[in-house]
């Protein structure tokens, strides 16, 4: 399971003035609920909350000057810990800069508590500076919005702030789907700790001090429903009836699912398609049925590997070929296990969506299924996987220097127990999916694959590193680095080493694989899609005081990784990358054709 909140002392309510009392009450109650990490973007209007966070010993506070970076830092921290994380900013466009992180938190189901400072109602809409309409600023992307309002620091006011904190924490955790919440907090002067103790009139012990060792209002999580006996009985019949079953696992941040799914595959004799972010690709669980080359297999679509039914856990993997293939299986019974009551069904082919706890479901079903299922279908898949993997290895062995597929294959062997890997969207997440082979290291793979943007990656990865304390790898392209260079300033917040691997192909490498690459003039393509920027990561590293090393082959990459934190730049050629992928696909297709005859 993910980390549980630790027991720590809480700072008392600050009675200096009305604002300090209200702000410290809110923050203290959030800490009582379980908040342990916060990102603070400086500003004047947010001073009461900033001081309260800074002085609260139960919460680790990272000061991130850029609001967009602060939002993604908090997102990464929440993603890595599974616990609600606070991000605070001042009024105006500062709040708008948090919107990308809020969108990602919404789509990924990450618990984020957004605190935006605001001017009081009498200063809105009259031309007062640094004021925009912040009411429901993030629209439907939040689980709950609250205009907290302006209140006196009396018993009713302090209890209201405590209650809002409890409700915000519960809404962010979700039941069952986590996500962002937004509290908009207006402050009148004085914004600083100017002494006005006469304005704090609360006398109630409960208002001033809360409840001992617990929140004002606890909201126990019911969580996803456990599978019923009737459902398990039906599934046991399905397993007995459909021997050619296939398990498909997409993004799932909690590694607790890995072992029961692996056991279910063993009991039923099923292969497992698992992308790295499912937490099944690497780890100490049984990986003997884990297939990693499914993108190449799905392109070939060998009839001998067509399943009778598919059991899907969570999101579908990233592979476009796999999604298209699964979407074409109209005669195949497809069942989706979705513990967050969402709708992870982009293919429109699922016969049933089961809204149950996926870990409990896999564990109970694996226990109920008679062991010793027919392994022939799984053996066919693992043979195809081995053939495609050999084709990949043979083709990569012919490449001079470093290639993008070769780098990901090599990184997969470098990751060690306890590492955390945060991977950019676009080409890095796809090459990681295609070329990292299963292995025994206990590694967590995270990625911002809710909204699938490349913005905020550096901040997210560093936030995850800071909150988890794990040695962290951030794998990105040059454009991903460019989009979030400001995030590098936060690396001081991470206690464990952070390695930032930059595949520098001078532009948008993924566009080389799209039809537009052959449909428009090359100069036009480079101008509007390829967009070479000529970035020099060495100068970026120097600007932020980070070590930098430039490597040109895999041996140098391994040596550079052993040196610890910093930017590891690997120059690669976009055109060569397309050719390497093409040759790999051809060799794999030949190998798969040979074994399917």
- pLDDT of 332 > 70? The answer is yes
Question: In terms of domains, do 337 and 484 share one?
Answer: no
Q: What is the largest CA-CA distance in the chain?
A: 87
Domain boundary among 319, 346, 380: 380
Domain boundary among 179, 209, 239: 209
Domain assignment of residue 352, yes or no: yes
Chain Cα centroid distance, residue 374:
36
d(Cα 318, Cα 274) in Å, to the nearest integer? 10
**Residue 372: its pLDDT value, please?**
57
CATH of the domain at 517: 3.40.50.970
Q: Report whether the peptide linkage leading into residue 176 is cis, meaning its omega lies within 30 degrees of zero.
A: yes
Question: In terms of domains, do 127 and 195 share one?
Answer: yes
Enter the pTM of the model: 0.95
The pLDDT tens digits for 255-274 are 999 999 999 999 999 999 99
Confidence band of 1 (pLDDT split at 50, 70, 90): very low
Number of independent structural domains in the chain: 3
Question: Which residue has 């066919």 as its token pair?
Answer: 380
Question: In terms of domains, do 23 and 129 share one?
Answer: yes
d(Cα 229, Cα 233) in Å, to the nearest integer? 6
Question: In terms of domains, do 204 and 244 share one?
Answer: no
Q: What phi and psi, each to the nearest 5 degrees, are found at residue 506?
A: 50, 55
Q: Which domain holds residue 408?
A: 404-571
Domain assignment of residue 76, yes or no: yes
Q: DSSP 3-state assignment of 336?
A: strand
CA-based nearest residue to 89, from 147, 41, 39, 27: 41
d(Cα 73, Cα 96) in Å, to the nearest integer? 16
Question: In terms of domains, do 198 and 233 share one?
Answer: no
What is the mean predicted confidence (pLDDT) over 314-322? Answer: 93
The pLDDT tens digits for 26-49 are 999 999 999 999 999 999 999 999
CATH of the domain at 361: 3.40.50.1220
The pLDDT tens digits for 449-504 are 999 999 999 999 999 999 999 999 999 999 999 999 999 999 999 989 999 999 99
Instruction: Please give the span between the terminal C-alpha atoms of the chain, in angstroms, as a whole number.
Output: 45
CA-based nearest residue to 456, from 140, 37, 36, 39: 39
Question: In terms of domains, do 203 and 239 share one?
Answer: no
- pLDDT of 87 > 60? The answer is yes
Question: In terms of domains, do 36 and 139 share one?
Answer: yes
Question: In terms of domains, do 369 and 445 share one?
Answer: no
Domain boundary among 147, 176, 209: 209
Instruction: Give the containing element (helix H, strand E) for 474.
Output: strand 472-477
d(Cα 9, Cα 56) in Å, to the nearest integer? 9
The pLDDT tens digits for 358-372 are 999 999 999 998 765
For residue 278, what are the CA distances in angstroms to 229, 345, 406? 27, 16, 22
- pLDDT of 216 > 70? The answer is yes
Q: Which stretches does DSSP call E strand in 459-530? A: 472-477, 498-504
Q: Report whether the peptide linkage leading into residue 190 is cis, meaning its omega lies within 30 degrees of zero.
A: yes
Domain assignment of residue 203, yes or no: yes
In this structure, what token pair is assigned to residue 201?
Answer: 């009139």
- pLDDT of 5 > 80? The answer is no
Q: What phi and psi, each to the nearest 5 degrees, are found at residue 530?
A: -65, -40
- pLDDT of 342 > 80? The answer is no
In this structure, what token pair is assigned to residue 427?
Answer: 């080409």
**Residue 510: its pLDDT value, please?**
83
**Residue 3: its pLDDT value, please?**
43
The pLDDT tens digits for 377-419 are 999 999 999 999 999 999 999 998 899 999 999 999 999 999 9
d(Cα 85, Cα 176) in Å, to the nearest integer? 17
Helix residue ranges per DSSP H, 469-573: 478-483, 516-519, 522-525, 537-543, 554-562
Domain assignment of residue 91, yes or no: yes
* Strands laid side by side in the 85-89 sheet: 60-63, 37-40, 85-89, 112-118, 180-186, 144-147
Domain assignment of residue 221, yes or no: no
Question: In terms of domains, do 169 and 236 share one?
Answer: no
Domain assignment of residue 579, yes or no: no
d(Cα 42, Cα 208) in Å, to the nearest integer? 27
- pLDDT of 2 > 50? The answer is no
Question: In terms of domains, do 423 and 308 share one?
Answer: no
In percent, the amount of the chain with pLDDT more than 70 equals 98
**Residue 4: its pLDDT value, please?**
43
254: left (phi over 0), alpha (psi -120 to 50) or beta: beta
Domain assignment of residue 396, yes or no: no
- pLDDT of 344 > 90? The answer is no
CA-based nearest residue to 431, from 452, 454, 410: 410
Domain assignment of residue 179, yes or no: yes
Question: In terms of domains, do 428 and 566 share one?
Answer: yes
Percentages (nearest 5) of helix, strand, coil residues in the chain: 45, 15, 40
Question: In terms of domains, do 268 and 347 share one?
Answer: yes
């Amino acid at each position: 399971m993910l980390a549980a909140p630790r027991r720590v002392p809480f700072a008392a309510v600050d009675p200096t003035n009305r604002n300090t009392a209200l702000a410290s009450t809110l923050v203290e109650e959030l800490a009582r609920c379980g908040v342990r990490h916060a990102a603070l973007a400086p500003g004047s209007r947010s001073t009461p909350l900033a001081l309260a966070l800074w002085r609260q010993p139960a919460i680790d506070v990272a000061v991130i000057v850029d609001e967009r970076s602060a939002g993604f830092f908090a997102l990464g921290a929440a993603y890595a810990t599974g616990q609600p994380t606070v991000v605070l900013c001042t009024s105006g466009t500062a709040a708008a800069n948090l919107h990308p992180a809020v969108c990602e938190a919404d789509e990924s189901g990450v618990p984020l508590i957004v605190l935006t400072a605001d001017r009081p109602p009498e200063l809105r809409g009259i031309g007062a500076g640094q004021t925009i309409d912040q009411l429901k600023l993030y629209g439907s992307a939040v689980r709950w919005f609250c205009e907290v309002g302006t209140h006196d620091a009396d018993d009713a006011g302090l209890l209201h702030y405590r209650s809002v904190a409890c409700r915000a924490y519960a809404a962010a955790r979700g039941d069952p789907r986590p996500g962002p919440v937004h509290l908009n907090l207006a402050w009148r002067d004085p914004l600083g700790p100017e002494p006005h103790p006469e304005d704090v009139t609360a006398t109630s012990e409960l208002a001033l001090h809360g409840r001992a060792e617990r929140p004002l209002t606890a909201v126990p999580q019911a969580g996803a429903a456990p599978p019923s006996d009737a459902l398990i009985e039906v599934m046991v019949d399905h397993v007995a009836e459909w021997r050619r079953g296939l398990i498909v696992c997409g993004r799932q941040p909690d590694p607790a699912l890995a072992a029961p799914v692996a056991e279910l595959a063993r009991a039923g004799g099923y292969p497992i398609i698992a992308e790295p972010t499912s937490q099944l690709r690497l780890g100490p669980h049984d990986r003997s049925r884990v297939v990693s080359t499914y993108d190449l297999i799905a392109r070939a679509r060998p009839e001998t590997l067509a399943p009778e039914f598919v059991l899907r856990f969570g999101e579908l993997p990233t592979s476009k070929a796999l999604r298209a293939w699964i979407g074409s299986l109209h005669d195949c019974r497809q069942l989706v296990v979705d513990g967050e009551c969402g709708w992870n069904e982009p293919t429109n082919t699922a016969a049933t969506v089961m809204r149950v706890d996926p870990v409990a479901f896999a564990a109970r079903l694996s226990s109920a299924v008679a062991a010793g299922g027919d392994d022939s279908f799984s053996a066919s898949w693992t043979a195809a996987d081995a053939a495609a993997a050999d084709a990949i290895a043979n083709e990569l062995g012919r490449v001079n220097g470093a290639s993008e597929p070769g780098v990901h294959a090599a990184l997969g062997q470098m990751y060690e127990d306890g590492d955390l890997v945060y991977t950019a969207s676009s080409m890095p997440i796809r090459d990681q999916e295609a070329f990292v082979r299963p292995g025994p290291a206990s590694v967590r793979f995270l990625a911002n694959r809710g909204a699938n943007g490349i913005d905020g990656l550096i901040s997210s990865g560093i936030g995850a590193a800071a909150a988890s304390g794990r040695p962290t790898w951030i794998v990105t392209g040059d454009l991903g680095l460019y989009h979030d260079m400001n995030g590098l300033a936060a690396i001081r917040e991470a206690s464990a080493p952070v390695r930032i691997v930059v595949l520098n192909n001078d532009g948008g490498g993924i566009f080389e694989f799209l039809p537009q690459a052959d449909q428009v003039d090359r100069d036009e393509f480079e101008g509007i899609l390829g967009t070479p920027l000529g970035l020099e990561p060495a100068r970026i590293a120097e600007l932020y005081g980070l070590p930098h090393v430039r490597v040109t082959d895999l041996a140098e990459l391994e040596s550079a990784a052993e040196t610890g934190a910093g930017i590891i730049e690997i120059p690669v050629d976009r055109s060569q990358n397309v050719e390497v992928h093409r040759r790999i696909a051809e060799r794999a297709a030949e190998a798969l054709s040979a074994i399917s005859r």
